[in-house]
A and B are shown apart, each in its own frame.
Chain A
Amino acid sequence: MQRSGELTAERATGHTAPAAGLARRFEEQRRRFYSNLLLPALVALMVVTLLPTIYLVVVSLTPLDLARPETHWDFSRPFAQYENVLNDSRLHNSLWVQAKLSFWSVLLQVVLGFVFALLLNVSSKVLMALRTVFLIPMVLPPIVVAIIWKVLYTPDISPFHWATEALGFVVPSLITDPNWALTAIIIADVWEWFPFVMLMVLASLQMMPSEYIEAAKVDGASVLQLTFYVTLPYLKGVLLVAALFRLVDSIKAFPLIYILTDGGPGTVTEVTNFYSFIQAFNFSYLGFSSAITVVLVVITIFLSWLIIRMVGWGQRVD
């Protein structure tokens, strides 16, 4: 990049002796110009993201409780909130709920996304047009997704409950039944996000060299064999990256839980993010909530780092 700039300046000045000086000056000028363009963005990014993160860590070192003003800036026992993190059994329960939610929703999204991508990966105008339809769940505002499923899970008005009743089953209201509430959330989450995996897989399938498939066909491989021994190994990387993205995102699950179950019944669907929200904005224990959140952020950064390691610092998926 740098070299090509010098080259131009040299060309511009026609390779004469003072040209080297001119080129250097132009290079200098260029570097200053770029720094001036970059600076506002970088400063703004620091101010809106880095400063608040530091503030979050600072708050996590105090027992801040909005109802007790004296807890502001009280650093007498800086790690007290982290001790609470270690000892709070409701928090540990929320981590377990999170693990179950993340595991099942990511697994189902990857499986469904993969299967749907294979079905749609056929050159056909109809199927191409239908791909766009599958975007809908993913792009809908999360709050609308939550409302859609609230309707389906509310027995009074749900066509699903009507249909099961007509068939002779009595299905309990899923979101108020402790045995089913988490499953209900997982179903809604899978519906919302399997298209993400599907699209990533489809993009990757389009770049798959056709020789792979031709060679396998010549060898007489069946469709199943083709899928398991050729396509799946080829897609391993994409599936892993898509799964990691979904995993990180599943830690943020909020609107679905807020609207469908409000963390209940009891604490059955209370994930860590949601518990932190309750501690902060229902009980106003911002210090404790900050400590929980710091732990979540550390986990997120670790997973993000893992993604980047796998993808190789901003390269294409393949």
Chain B
Amino acid sequence: MSTSTDYHSHLKWQRFWLHALVIVLVLLVMFPFVWLLIMSFKTIDDIFAWPPKWLFVPTLENYTGLWEGDFPKSFANSLIVSVGSTAIAILLGVPGAYALSRMDMGKSNQLSILILASRMAPPIAFTIPYFLAYRYIGLLDSRLGLIIIYLTFNLSLVVWLMRSFFDATPRALEEAAWIDGASLWQSFVKIILPLSGPGLAATAILCFLYSWNDFFFALILTRTEATTAPVAIVNFMNYEGWAWGKIAAGGAMVMLPVLVFSFLVRRFLIQGMTAGAIKG
């Protein structure tokens, strides 16, 4: 009897130490991220204070400074481009994914290497041809240009993810609808699509996140008019020295929607990142 209580208290201690260890590790891992957030609320003097200030009077001046400059325009560009590209990818990709899921296609596996390769190729592989083509047809520094190049990853993501969602919806539902006289199109739009709502939402959010997070394409394909928020932040590093306060505040603004959306789709994150190789 006593050995059993010993064993249990031993287990309890083990759990305690494990929790303590994990919490310390979490704090350690999160520190760099939290530090940037804190920095965004500091005045420039507090940022350069030595030793670093832990207690300080928070200020919103970095954020208001951002609001008065060109940053809102870049933020809007980011929104327009990300939403636009996501919408087009969904419109084109979802019907395709449904067809792939229902077709009797032994060879559809070859598609998966095309999808995986297009998602894994270094962005510069697309940037060079797009840059040359856009230069020729005048799409450089345009939001439309970014919307199109973001399709390179969004389209294949939609096809892959939605296909696995459609695979999971029972075919018996459509078959029952056909018997009741529904057309093929009706059974897709009125029965299957509404059932795939959550999957569709998750896919759209992932597309939005990938577009929103892009830095490389926007860096090369935009100059002044269509700059997205990530590029705008980097511009704070070049002009008038390093505006650390604005850089931190801009970074916080850019990551805010990302954190919210990622939390919503956390179950699908890995699926999205490994799209093309691993089905959910």
**Are B118 and A49 neighbours in the complex by a CB distance under 8 Å?**
yes
Chain B residues with CB under 8 Å of A162's CB are 50-52
Cβ-neighbour of B128 out of A2, A136, A251, A293 (below 8 A): A293
**Are B104 and A1 neighbours in the complex by a CB distance under 8 Å?**
yes
B19: Cβ under 8 A from any A Cβ = yes
B202: Cβ under 8 A from any A Cβ = no
A147: Cβ under 8 A from any B Cβ = yes
Q: Give A281 to B113 CA distance when docked, in angstroms.
A: 30
Cβ-neighbour of A141 out of B128, B132, B219, B230 (below 8 A): B230
**Are A119 and B21 neighbours in the complex by a CB distance under 8 Å?**
yes
B130: Cβ under 8 A from any A Cβ = yes
Q: Give A41 to B158 CA distance when docked, in angstroms.
A: 10
Give the residues from 123 to 146 in chain A that come closer than 8 angstroms, CB to CB, to chain B: 124, 126-127, 130, 132-144
- Distance (whole angstroms) from the CB of A274 to the closest CB of chain B: 9
B102: Cβ under 8 A from any A Cβ = yes
Q: Give A132 to B160 CA distance when docked, in angstroms.
A: 25
**Are A116 and B128 neighbours in the complex by a CB distance under 8 Å?**
no
Digit string of A1-29 for contact with B (CB within 8 Å is 1, else 0)?
11011001101100000000000000001
**Are A140 and B258 neighbours in the complex by a CB distance under 8 Å?**
yes
Chain B residues with CB under 8 Å of A5's CB are 175
Chain B residues with CB under 8 Å of A169's CB are none
Given A34-B99, A40-B95, A143-B215, answer yes or no on A59-B129 (Cβ-Cβ < 8 Å).
Answer: yes
Cβ-neighbour of A144 out of B175, B254, B262, B273 (below 8 A): B254
Q: Give A168 to B155 CA distance when docked, in angstroms.
A: 54
A82: Cβ under 8 A from any B Cβ = no
Q: Give A179 to B254 CA distance when docked, in angstroms.
A: 33
Digit string of B1-38 for contact with A (CB within 8 Å is 1, else 0)?
00000000000000100110111011001101101100
**Are B216 and A34 neighbours in the complex by a CB distance under 8 Å?**
no
B156: Cβ under 8 A from any A Cβ = yes
Chain A residues with CB under 8 Å of B239's CB are none
Give the residues from 223 to 280 in chain B that come closer than 8 angstroms, CB to CB, to chain A: 230, 233-234, 237, 244, 247-248, 251, 254-255, 258-259, 262-263, 266, 269-270, 273-274, 276-279
Query: What would 8 more interface pairs be, CB under 8 Å, given A51-B129, A55-B132?
Result: A33-B99, A44-B155, A137-B33, A142-B213, A143-B251, A152-B35, A157-B244, A259-B234
Chain B residues with CB under 8 Å of A293's CB are 122, 124-125, 128
Cβ-neighbour of B19 out of A127, A273, A280, A315 (below 8 A): A127
B139: Cβ under 8 A from any A Cβ = no
Cβ-neighbour of B122 out of A12, A119, A296 (below 8 A): A296
- Distance (whole angstroms) from the CB of A297 to the closest CB of chain B: 5
Q: Give A41 to B88 CA distance when docked, in angstroms.
A: 10
Chain A interface (Cβ < 8 Å from any Cβ of B) = 1-2, 4-5, 8-9, 11-12, 29-31, 33-35, 37-38, 40-42, 44-45, 48-49, 51-53, 55-56, 59, 116, 119-120, 122, 124, 126-127, 130, 132-144, 147-149, 151-152, 156-157, 159, 162, 166, 191, 196, 199-200, 203, 241, 245, 248-249, 251-252, 254-255, 258-259, 273, 276-277, 280-281, 286, 289-290, 293-294, 296-297, 300-301, 303-305, 307-308, 311, 313-317
Given A147-B248, A280-B128, answer yes or no on A119-B279 (Cβ-Cβ < 8 Å).
Answer: no
Give the residues from 130 to 152 in chain B that come closer than 8 angstroms, CB to CB, to chain A: 130-133, 148-149, 151-152
**Are A191 and B277 neighbours in the complex by a CB distance under 8 Å?**
no
Number of A-B contacts (CB under 8 A): 273
User: Number of B residues contacting the other chain (C-beta, 8 Å)?
Assistant: 96
Query: Is chain A's binding surface mostly helix, strand, loop or mixed?
Result: helix
Chain A residues with CB under 8 Å of B204's CB are none
Chain A residues with CB under 8 Å of B199's CB are none
Chain A residues with CB under 8 Å of B148's CB are 48
Most chain B CB inside 10 Å of its own CB: which residue of A255, A258, A286: A255
Chain A residues with CB under 8 Å of B278's CB are 241, 311, 314-317
Cβ-neighbour of A191 out of B15, B32, B117, B188 (below 8 A): B32
- Distance (whole angstroms) from the CB of B179 to the closest CB of chain A: 5
**Are B132 and A147 neighbours in the complex by a CB distance under 8 Å?**
no
Chain A residues with CB under 8 Å of B179's CB are 8, 11-12
- Distance (whole angstroms) from the CB of B226 to the closest CB of chain A: 16
